[in-house]
Amino acid sequence: MRSAAAWLAAALVLGGLAWRVLLGECSPGTFDEVSFLRALGQYDLLAFEPHFPGYALSVLLARIPYALGSSAPYAWVAGVLGVLVAPWVYAAAGRGAGGVLACAALAGSPLAASLGARPLADAGASALLVGGVALALRPRPRLAALLLGAAAAAKPDYALFGSALIPLLGPRPWRQAAATLGCWVAPLALAVWAAALGCGGWAPFVDEATRFVHGHLFEWGGTAAVDGRPRLLRFARPLGEALGAQGWVAFPAVLAALALMTRAPREARRAVVWAALPYVLYTVFAQNLEHPRHVLPLVLIGALLAGQGLNRLRAPLPLRWALLAVLAFGALSGTWRQAAQREARGRPTDALLALLEGCDPLGTRLYTGQQARPLRERGPALDVRAARDLADVARLVAADPAPPGVILVGSQVAGAQRLPLVLRVEGLTLYRWDPSRAGL
């Protein structure tokens, strides 16, 4: 049975690699994706604004398949890293049904699959992170520290996991503890040096990093309002999306996964909770909760605990495999649903670009939020401009001596709902600018 489980886990992971590569995005669909695609041709980390000038390892790895002619290099990175860490994840989850569960989350959970196909760092960095946590649970302290450091080099905020977990990895002899710490610091130090190089020097690097921290604490995260709801409640939405929380099977599957996590060994639960706590606090109180991708590492390391709990469950073997089937079906059905929706409707940015290209480029202007950047990147001739709210739109229109005849406002602009509706389809809502009804 264990041999069959190992083959099943391998099939899932290889299927995840194929999924990412076949569905890999070749053009930017969001604000952040523009930065990662630009970095492939020119190593200019200041182009990552408003992000921290990091991600050195993610960009370096993606430039390898890019140089070989791949149109979806970040998808290759995410898929290959998932394959490389899968054996450690399978072993750390206890092999058998538990190992299959952890590998299924790594390869095919909705958020892991969708992010793995996009030009972003999250999926590849999360694979390194869960591999490091898996090695820490076995325990393999030095190799675990190296992977945790590499995860932080691929995505800077993942350093929060290592900062909490590394003290638990250090053996008693101080020389071995220092070696473990060095294995974690070395990739981070190289990433900081590479980031400074990509920024043109240490002074621009420090300035950009300071601006990033200020933005996360005050502009789009931290004290920024989120639909008037407490941030802790707002955190439930991205977590639900990450678990594929759609359809009737999602709720019992999520409850079952949480129950299995409580069955994991006490030492494993303590290590994982301790490692994840700084990142959870950072995500809830300093991240933009509009983006569910920030909870991906929590889902993957949670699957490690759930896998261990599944193997320790005092139940007949067929019942454990039946529970695994329910959990896997809950996650994979969400992944298939996302793929079907994308195939049928495309991305919102794709639909918006097609709509604007069908209009008179000289007589139509669109004001929107973060969508403005990928639209300008893909359609330089289009008149697309960024605006925060209706007051911002009014100021920009008033300052234009010759505004176009048709001005559209996207739903990303705060208060746009007060304008006359022009178009509403899945993921896309446009309004017609009318100052008399703008509530200004």
pLDDT grade for 209, boundaries at 50, 70 and 90: confident
Q: pLDDT averaged over the chain?
A: 80
pLDDT grade for 130, boundaries at 50, 70 and 90: very high
Predicted local distance difference test score (pLDDT) of residue 198: 75
Q: Strands of 421-425's sheet, edge to edge?
A: 384-386, 364-368, 406-410, 428-432, 421-425
Residue type, 410: G
Predicted local distance difference test score (pLDDT) of residue 55: 82
Which range among 48-52, 173-177, 283-287 shows the weakest confidence by mean pLDDT?
48-52
- Tally Cβ neighbours within 10 Å of residue 63: 16
Can you read off the two tokens belonging to residue 62?
Answer: 């993606």
Greater pLDDT, 322 or 399: 399
CA distance 244 to 252: 12
Greater pLDDT, 339 or 118: 118
Residue type, 377: E
Long-range contacts of 191-194 (CB under 8 A, 24+ apart): 191/54, 191/56, 191/57, 191/152, 191/153, 191/156, 194/56, 194/60
Residue type, 44: D
| CA nearest to 141, candidates 271, 329, 328 | 271
Phi, psi of 422 (to 5 degrees): -110, -45
- Cα 388 → chain centroid: 24
pLDDT grade for 226, boundaries at 50, 70 and 90: very low
Structure confidence by residue, pLDDT tens digits, 150-202 = 999 999 889 888 888 887 776 667 677 788 888 888 888 888 888 787 777 78
Q: Is the pLDDT of residue 345 over 70?
A: no
CA distance 121 to 293: 10
Can you read off the two tokens belonging to residue 264?
Answer: 């994991």
Q: Where are the domains of the chain?
A: 2-345, 348-437
Residue labelled with tokens 């200004």: 440
Which range among 238-247, 354-363, 371-380 shows the weakest confidence by mean pLDDT?
238-247
Q: Is the pLDDT of residue 82 over 90?
A: yes
* pTM of the complete model: 0.86
Which range among 98-102, 218-222, 274-278 shows the weakest confidence by mean pLDDT?
218-222
Percent of the chain residues topping a pLDDT of 90: 12
Which range among 113-122, 139-148, 330-339, 350-359 shows the weakest confidence by mean pLDDT?
330-339
In angstroms, how far is the first alpha carbon of the chain from the final one?
A: 68
Predicted local distance difference test score (pLDDT) of residue 224: 46
3-state percent helix, strand, coil for the chain, nearest multiple of 5: 70, 5, 25
Instruction: Report which listed range, 306-315, 347-356, 384-393, is most confident.
Output: 384-393
